[in-house]
With several copies, the nearest count.
Chain A
């Protein structure tokens, strides 16, 4: 293959941060698709515009999801990327890999695709970047053979993801990995066969630090939390000061609820005022441990701006115990999806539907009680609806 001239992209090979151009060139060395991709990207850099056509629908047998169709608008110049579809491969929960599995994935992709990937996509899939239409099915066959399956796309349940949680983190209040994997396996059908009004994302963080950005990037957010007193090891607190932490200034003063007192010797926490923000615990992992009763706060509605503006997820269950087989959780997910399915317009995310029909209506439909934890503050407008049963029958 003739090496393409890429004067613009070449300028991105320098610098200390690893260069994607280097990877593209590496792949281009042995893969004509990668080479044409490089060429087309160089053209985009020159033209300051993308050169992909609006996606088309492609897929594997029995699935409606997992492959993103893509075609070049300059197949004349770049015939090898005339069709250049990505395969979304569901990652092992927590993005843990044994290298043999990862190598199998690479082998499949060298056989069928461009040799380029994203590790990972921002929903969490291993993204296999670019193959031709006729390779999709064989590639899928080889993937499942290698133990992998596709993730979600389109109006389906998207690949759920979870923080590393109990795999490594002392702060895990729930088994984020197991919950995520369990959901993933239970809802395979919903991932692969788009049947919803729009996409539906689930992300699981095992504590309020929310290391998978669950609250911002999923329709259904599961975030670990606790009840009970923060356990204090006063000796370790002392050790923290010894190593330079200014407990008054860095911990107590930044506690959002100002529920901590430090007299230079003893740290006191008024737990009934604590909102479990994690700040003090983050700063003193050895000295402080979360309360002993563990569970999750369930929130719904998070999403990016299209259509009605971005939303952060909203609390709908302040505390739910999460233990295998997670029936209460999965049942709630199903009830919510059913309601959304029934009332959602095409391309209307769950949060938007709740916004449109009202939290009140949503709660009643899915059978959840209203609690003050659901709001930052009660309503300010007087436009209150009453249920028929609140009203005295007319006597006029």
Chain B
């Protein structure tokens, strides 16, 4: 009989000795080069963290390779970051260069620190989930290939955090990202009336719809969808498997910009709609890659130092954002959900373009 509720291993057993000795007594850090963090403790001891990019979807052999590297340079200590990068934790300064060399030779990108683009937080997509409107790993790989240079350098005005979620559930950090890539459906789910009565609970299916598009049909133990009120969120499908929503012709990707999480300078804020729809074009999603790159480049050349994407747009105005990026503004950009009126312009204070 297995033990239960043992919980995760105690993190204290996982800390390199330099951390255990200086725990909570760090004094400052420096980033001498992209991907290398040097933390100095009050004791004067230093910790070298080398950050390397990861596809996140990794095989056990790949993990073992990481382990081998960590054993060679870091006495077997490593960690992962909240954005799924790998961090090799060294106490020996002399091992930093050899480690960097080995990482380079093995194809690990080193970077993601400071004013860079770090790894893209993302989700399952077609690899494992049942509701995706697009794949996750594929678009991420295609985008990262294109903007690779921003990962291994620190030349942007500020941090740029990108996330991807393959459906409106937004398992990635999409809703608060500098740039977000979001899979969307665009057609109404098709309830299968033969299956609904068996597999779905009518009241919870009705309650699952944010816009009240679903009506219960108690007599036939099924439901009907009001096409006009449906905005294809797919939440009903989560609750009731008998109303599939995926549609290869019309599923695709929307692009969102200007969100952030940190409290630095400005308050955390949501990402806002930039591009309502781009087609799913596997394997390399060229329209998505171009769109993301365009936004990054316009941002890079217009924002002031330390200005996150959203802070830049707030300063110059959304009118200007659309002009500069050449992205067309449409009625889809105008909110029509419950807090919509808060986003309407209730002043004469705007720019002409």
Contacts and interface: CB of A to CB of B under 8 A. Distances in A.
Contact of B283 (A11, A148, A286): A11
Interface string B156-194: 000000000000111111111000001010110000000
A191 to B, nearest CB: 8
A212 B271 CA distance: 17
A63 B137 CA distance: 30
Contacts of B282: 8, 44-46, 48
B276 A374 contact: no
Interface stretch (A108-116, A260-268, A323-331, A334-342): A108-116
B82 A364 contact: no
B54 to A, nearest CB: 6
Given A192-B5, A210-B268, A374-B345, A306 B80 contact: no
Contacts of A318: 350, 352
Interface residues of B, number: 160
A241 interface: no
A217 to B, nearest CB: 6
A23 B283 contact: no
A290 interface: no
Contacts of A119: 54, 56, 58, 63, 80, 84, 86
A130 B62 CA distance: 17
B53 interface: yes
Given A304-B175, A314-B346, A380 B271 contact: yes
A82 B174 CA distance: 31
B336 A386 contact: no
A172 B19 CA distance: 14
B287 interface: no
Interface string A245-278: 0000010001110000000000000001111111
A117 B59 contact: yes
A381 B250 contact: no
Interface in B109-131: 109, 121-123, 125-131
A179 to B, nearest CB: 12
B128 A86 contact: yes
A54 B55 contact: no
B6 A278 contact: no
Contact of B6 (A60, A149, A208, A345): A149
A49 B4 contact: no
Nearest to A159: B8
Nearest to A71: B130
Interface in A288-330: 297, 299, 301, 304-315, 318-319
Chain B facing A: main interface SS:
loop
Interface string A365-395: 0000011111111111111111000111011
B220 interface: no
Contact of B346 (A250, A276, A312): A312
A370 B37 CA distance: 42
How extensive is the interface on chain A, given as a class?
35 or more
Interface in A52-67: 52-55, 60-63
Contacts of A286: 27-28
Contacts of B333: 370, 372, 375, 378-379
B101 interface: no
Contact of B265 (A169, A277, A390): A277
B29 A372 contact: no
Contact of A170 (B26, B107, B248): B26
A276 B264 CA distance: 8
A227 interface: yes
B264 to A, nearest CB: 5
B169 A17 contact: no
A375 B318 contact: yes
Nearest to A258: B315
A382 B334 contact: no
A313 B129 CA distance: 27
B71 A99 contact: yes
Contact of A312 (B80, B108, B176, B284): B176
Contact of A306 (B23, B138, B169, B344): B169
B145 A16 contact: yes
A375 B170 contact: no
B55 A18 contact: yes
A333 interface: no
Contacts of B80: 91, 95, 97, 119-120
B335 A381 contact: yes
A213 B261 contact: yes
A52 B166 CA distance: 14
A97 B340 contact: no
A155 interface: no
Give the residue among A12, A129, A396 with the most B Cβ atoms within 10 A. A12
A314 B277 contact: no
B332 A384 contact: yes
B70 A99 contact: yes
B270 A306 contact: no
Interface in B35-66: 37, 39, 47, 49, 53-64, 66
Contacts of B129: 50, 52
A208 B145 contact: no
Interface in A75-115: 84, 86, 89-103, 105-107, 109-110, 115
B231 to A, nearest CB: 4
Given A86-B128, A92-B9, A216 B176 contact: yes
Contact of A373 (B233, B319, B321, B331): B319
Given A130-B128, A149-B7, A370-B331, A314 B148 contact: no
A118 B56 contact: yes
A216 B263 CA distance: 11
A49 B126 CA distance: 7
Contacts of A381: 335, 337, 339
Given A49-B246, A313-B346, A372 B137 contact: no
A332 interface: no
Nearest to A249: B305
A181 B4 CA distance: 17
A209 interface: yes
A237 to B, nearest CB: 13
B146 to A, nearest CB: 8
A382 B2 contact: no
B264 A277 contact: yes
Contacts of A5: none
B90 to A, nearest CB: 12
5 contacts: A20-B141, A92-B11, A96-B15, A163-B82, A376-B345
A-B pairs, 4 with minimum CB distance: A15-B145, A54-B241, A358-B336, A312-B346
Given A115-B59, A272-B353, A297-B348, 17 more contacts: A18-B55, A20-B57, A41-B126, A44-B282, A70-B128, A98-B13, A124-B82, A164-B79, A306-B233, A319-B352, A361-B336, A372-B319, A373-B319, A374-B334, A379-B333, A383-B168, A386-B186
